[in-house]
Structure 1
């Protein structure tokens, strides 16, 4: 039983003052209160360290930690994991916001499935000024489905993760995979047989911050992401594909994609799906999740190919999109495609507001 178990909230902070109050207050106001909150300043140049000190003086659950120099996210995460004294570790980014019941709801899932190791959840994207833009549904829910997802992309939303502390202490983040450390560790754990799950409802607000690592180091992130995907597919399927074919399959497209290459990529996705199902023999619910993920992946590939195509080549890609129209008509596909259109994202919630403990 998880009742009464301590949860360590691990929140690295670097120049995080702009959104610090919202992030920390959303943790302090969690309905699950047995928390250890590690606020780790990684050599910030703004007043983040001062804010950490102030918060630590008003809530004994907060453990202030100050790196003597900037260590970077991966080393800071590993440092926090080793310091953590909780039975579980919950991640949190310093510019995001958690729903008040996030930790309580995710912790309950470990009671429902004692073999569970790591869980995450759906989330909302919010703008830098706190406007909710759209909902992001998990790519799959079950562990075996997520293993297949991990051949191509990050299977779970890292900042929303709650996992057994023992798992993270035994499996540190790998600093070779800078800016894609989450994809690396979660795909590695899935390959090693650790049990994952996604909670379908959104429990987190992820800020689209132009100053974040994802935006500032996009080229490095794409390169590292590709490297991890190549490793994952080679390790499982003993296959290595043409570089450009692989880039299309994982939707890291910044070049003109030929009609032939695009179709080869879509067919290769189906081939890998069939081989995975033959090897694993999962139940029907897993097969359905994998097929729904592939619908979304193919839609993304088609749309990104059109976006990246030279003007005179866009007609060819558009023809290919029409040839794959059933993807967009499918219930899952239509919902996914429409969610990408700004005017379709209505009735979205406002971000939760908390009275700040520190002014």
Structure 2
């Protein structure tokens, strides 16, 4: 029987002391002894790093990269992703809760798909249900144009193969495309994507959330949104040109 593919979980933290323990506990319970959690912290000023050091001292699966000075969640996630050694990669926010069987179920799907994104239950800070399905609330589905206009790719619900990450890195040097959206777009352009309708996450919304992204967050002006979409399409075209050129050159 072949060995189970190694799982790498990447977490980007910033002032996450309030919920990080609950999140880590929900993840660690689902990992094997050979799996890993890679955590990159970006200039936290609360007790986040102390909490992480305590966990890492007791569990060798946790690797810490602290004292980063990115001031940018995209670069913070990229820092963690560059360090993965697993075949299957899961992204995690610092304040949600993974539901049972997330890792085993999604890993099974990754045998056939390059990227899997599953539904989640939206909750308040005490994990009381607000919306039973993020997919239904947000209209989540595949499509390049659809996701450039309004992204369905939320990293907290995503997992993907290492082969996809190799194509997607480095991330575009713009804040107009989140790391999770970019991974989703690259997956659609180069591989197979699955939107898994079952929820495997309690998606916690609270006052300290970095962005509510469509769940009560601030709206941008039409001008800024238009500029952002132009930048996204430019990055997509640039990626396609590079990807196709590189592919054709390898097959000559």
* TM-score band w.r.t. shorter chain: 0.7 to 0.9
Matches within 5 A, 1:148-167: 149-167=146-164
Deviation per residue, 1:323-358 (Å, 9 max, x gap): xxxxxxxxxxxxxxxxxxxxxxxxxxxxxxxxxxxx
Matches within 5 A, 1:171-190: 171-172=168-169, 173-178=171-176, 180-190=178-188
CA distance in 2, matches of 1:131, 1:179: 31
The question of 1:124 aligning with 2:121 is answered: yes
Q: 1:177–1:224: 8 Å Cα contact kept in structure 2?
A: no
Query: Which residue does 1:17 correspond to in 2?
Result: 17
The question of 1:133 aligning with 2:130 is answered: yes
CA distance in 1, matches of 2:235, 2:72: 29
CA distance in 2, matches of 1:228, 1:97: 31
Matches within 5 A, 1:344-359: none
Q: 2:122–2:134: 8 Å Cα contact kept in structure 1?
A: no
Question: C-alpha displacement at 1:228, in angstroms?
Answer: 4.7
Query: Which residue does 1:344 correspond to in 2?
Result: none
Q: 2:117–2:158: 8 Å Cα contact kept in structure 1?
A: yes
Q: 1:154–1:182: 8 Å Cα contact kept in structure 2?
A: no
Question: C-alpha displacement at 1:43, in angstroms?
Answer: 1.3
Query: Which residue does 1:203 correspond to in 2?
Result: 200
CA distance in 2, matches of 1:183, 1:10: 16
Aligned residue pairs total 229
2:191 alignment partner, one of 190, 194, 197: 194
Matches within 5 A, 1:254-269: none
CA distance in 2, matches of 1:34, 1:222: 48
Q: Residues 4 and 156 from structure 1, CA distance in 2 versus in 1: closer, same or farther, beyond 3 angstroms?
A: same
Question: C-alpha displacement at 1:81, in angstroms?
Answer: 1.1
Q: Could you tell me the TM-score, scaled by structure 2's length?
A: 0.78
Q: Residues 31 and 43 from structure 1, CA distance in 2 versus in 1: closer, same or farther, beyond 3 angstroms?
A: closer
Greater relative CO (CA pairs within 8 A, separation 6+): 2
Query: Which residue does 2:73 correspond to in 1?
Result: 73
Deviation per residue, 1:170-196 (Å, 9 max, x gap): 313324025744334423442x23221
Q: Could you tell me the TM-score, scaled by structure 1's length?
A: 0.57
Question: C-alpha displacement at 1:206, in angstroms?
Answer: 1.0
Q: What SS does the aligned partner of 1:218 have?
A: coil
Q: Residues 224 and 37 from structure 1, CA distance in 2 versus in 1: closer, same or farther, beyond 3 angstroms?
A: farther
Q: 1:175–1:181: 8 Å Cα contact kept in structure 2?
A: no
Q: What SS does the aligned partner of 2:18 have?
A: helix
CA distance in 2, matches of 1:86, 1:156: 21
Deviation per residue, 1:240-286 (Å, 9 max, x gap): xxxxxxxxxxxxxxxxxxxxxxxxxxxxxxxxxxxxxxxxxxxxxxx
Question: C-alpha displacement at 1:214, in angstroms?
Answer: 1.3
**Range with greater deviation from structure 2 (25-34 or 163-172):** 25-34
User: Is there any run of 5+ residues in structure 2 with no aligned partner, and where?
Assistant: 237-252
Matches within 5 A, 1:1-359: 3-30=3-30, 34-111=34-111, 113=112, 116-138=113-135, 139=139, 145-147=142-144, 149-172=146-169, 173-178=171-176, 180-190=178-188, 192-215=189-212, 218-219=218-219, 226-230=226-230
Larger radius of gyration: 1
More strand by share: 2
Deviation per residue, 1:55-76 (Å, 9 max, x gap): 0011111111113424421111
CA distance in 2, matches of 1:51, 1:154: 32
CA distance in 2, matches of 1:121, 1:11: 18
